[in-house]
Amino acid sequence: MISHESLATGRDVSASLYVEIQQFYGRHMRAMDECRVEVWTSDFTEDAVFATNARPEPQIGRTVIAEGARKAAQLLTEQGDRRRHCVGTLEVSERPDGTVVAKSYAQLVRTPQEGETVLELFCTCEDVLIREEGRLFIKHRQVYRDDLPEN
Amino acid sequence: MISHESLATGRDVSASLYVEIQQFYGRHMRAMDECRVEVWTSDFTEDAVFATNARPEPQIGRTVIAEGARKAAQLLTEQGDRRRHCVGTLEVSERPDGTVVAKSYAQLVRTPQEGETVLELFCTCEDVLIREEGRLFIKHRQVYRDDLPEN
Amino acid sequence: MISHESLATGRDVSASLYVEIQQFYGRHMRAMDECRVEVWTSDFTEDAVFATNARPEPQIGRTVIAEGARKAAQLLTEQGDRRRHCVGTLEVSERPDGTVVAKSYAQLVRTPQEGETVLELFCTCEDVLIREEGRLFIKHRQVYRDDLPEN
């Protein structure tokens, strides 16, 4: 059980787990930003749920999530824009059942071809991660864009 | 004593302390951004000092700091804006007396209700943290906004 | 040898190495942003190479890199602007030969004297770091600005 004290200090999460998640996001976000959709998609469990206030219904299952990501990557490639997910302000906690909750902030930074870089939008992300065969996978993702209503 | 060598490499600070401080800021900044002022305020010592070049005099004591934070949160709620502290570029050192100095960069990102997200301002933050009953508290905070004169 | 599995999870890199590199960048970027060019420069090996798509040819050797940095710092001081490198989304890997590859994102945030803060530009950075006498040095840096063509 996680005590109030450990929740307050975050000391219950080991440095190696916290760093593992930083590495996970480094790789995960870079994969998306470089349009390596297969790599990005492989970070989700087969039955993962991706919910966001930018869509009326959550995407359910890795196949559906992958389809959405491929379309987004294709659009970005057609536009010739670069888009980066600058992820940070990470807060990690472990649940009694062994799943990991990772809260992060993401600034989306877009640069049109030889154009000026702009902060396109901001979102919060809350992932529930599970470990399978030694590595972490996203089982549930909840993203909120700050520029859209919560529901 | 901290040697020149260890200052240069930052190896004197353990991974667990560095991660503890990342967790601390994750929780601390999220509390502020979600207007959970009591949680944010509880990260300061009773006698904490909060100095910034945005105010002529430092705030002295947790009660005074809390009052300022409540007003800021109320204003934000009234405006219906969302404001996020994206904290990073963290550098941590330990002093011989056991206090911890944490330097960070913070980008303040504001999104008006259904409006466009903007980078509102940038500030540097230098906190002196002490450990009491197992957890860290801010004893002294010095914030500089880059858009204002230093004094 | 680094297995596919360990590449996927990033678990091959210890928490202490990852944190050491976060500390390295905290110090390194702060040195540049505060125009302490000597400190910044001392993070490069004598024979370091600094390549970027903002220059037709790479800078070769610490002396040349230092000269470029001094000019940039002087220009910034003359303009009276503040410029910050907000570094993050870090991904670290170790090569079999012991060198370390660190990939990061950097948002450059500029604030003219008493003016408004703007996101000036975005770049990706890939450093090859080596350890000498206990501390890390940059042996090769490749920076890409997103607003310029790749070559």
* Residue-level pLDDT at B34: 96
Chain C partners of A19 at a C-beta cutoff of 8 Å? 13, 15, 18-19
A contact chains, 3+ CB pairs < 8 A: B, C
* Residue-level pLDDT at B113: 84
Residues A121 and A108: beta-carbon distance below 8 Å:
yes
Handedness of CA B9, C50, A23, A126 (dihedral sign): positive
Chain C partners of A84 at a C-beta cutoff of 8 Å? 89, 105, 122, 124, 146
The first and second tokens of residue A46, run together, are 């087969």
Chain C partners of A25 at a C-beta cutoff of 8 Å? 89
Average pLDDT over residues C139-151: 94
Write the pLDDT tens digit of every residue in C47-78: 999 999 999 999 999 999 999 999 999 999 99
DSSP state letters, C55-68: SSS-EESHHHHHHH
* Residue-level pLDDT at A4: 41
User: How many other C-beta atoms can be found within 10 angstroms of the C-beta atom of residue A30?
Assistant: 20
* Residue-level pLDDT at C10: 47
Facing residue for C9 by CB, picked from A88, A119, A135: A135
> Nearest C-alpha of chain B: how many angstroms from C71?
22
Measured at the CA of B113, the angle between CA B105 and CA A29, to 5 degrees, comes to 45
- Cβ of B29 and A122 within 8 Å? no
Residue of chain B whose alpha carbon sits nearest to that of C119: B119
> Residue B66, Cα to own-chain centre: how many angstroms?
14
Question: Measured between alpha carbons, how far is residue C78 from residues B99, C73, C75, C113 in Å?
Answer: 37, 9, 5, 11
Chain A partners of B16 at a C-beta cutoff of 8 Å? 11, 14-15
- Cβ of B105 and C84 within 8 Å? yes
Read off the pLDDT band of C12 (50, 70, 90). confident
In degrees and rounded to multiples of 5, residue B112 shows phi and psi of -70, 160
Res C1 pLDDT > 50: no
Average pLDDT over residues B21-38: 97
Q: How buried is A126 (Cβ within 10 angstroms: 0-12 exposed, 13-18 middle, 19+ buried)?
A: middle
The Cβ-side half-sphere exposure at C127, using a 13 Å CA radius, reads 26
Read off the pLDDT band of C150 (50, 70, 90). confident
Residue of chain B whose alpha carbon sits nearest to that of C105: B89
Report chain B's mean pLDDT, rounded to a whole number: 92
Q: pTM of the entire structure?
A: 0.93
Q: How buried is A142 (Cβ within 10 angstroms: 0-12 exposed, 13-18 middle, 19+ buried)?
A: middle
Q: At what angle do helices B15-33 and A15-33 cross, to 10 degrees?
A: 60
Res B10 pLDDT > 60: no
In this prediction the ipTM stands at 0.91
The first and second tokens of residue B142, run together, are 């010095």
* Residue-level pLDDT at A120: 96
Write the pLDDT tens digit of every residue in B65-101: 999 999 999 999 999 999 999 999 999 999 999 999 9
Helix (H) or strand (E) holding B65: helix B62-79
Res B64 pLDDT > 70: yes
Write the pLDDT tens digit of every residue in C20-45: 999 999 999 999 999 999 999 999 99
Residue by residue, pLDDT tens for chain A (151 residues) are 333 444 444 447 999 999 999 999 999 999 999 999 999 999 999 999 999 999 999 999 999 999 999 999 999 999 999 999 999 999 999 999 999 999 999 999 999 987 999 999 999 999 999 999 999 999 999 999 999 998 7
Res C3 pLDDT > 80: no
* Residue-level pLDDT at B8: 46
In degrees and rounded to multiples of 5, residue B53 shows phi and psi of -75, 5
Residues A121 and A144: beta-carbon distance below 8 Å:
no
Residue of chain A whose alpha carbon sits nearest to that of C148: A114
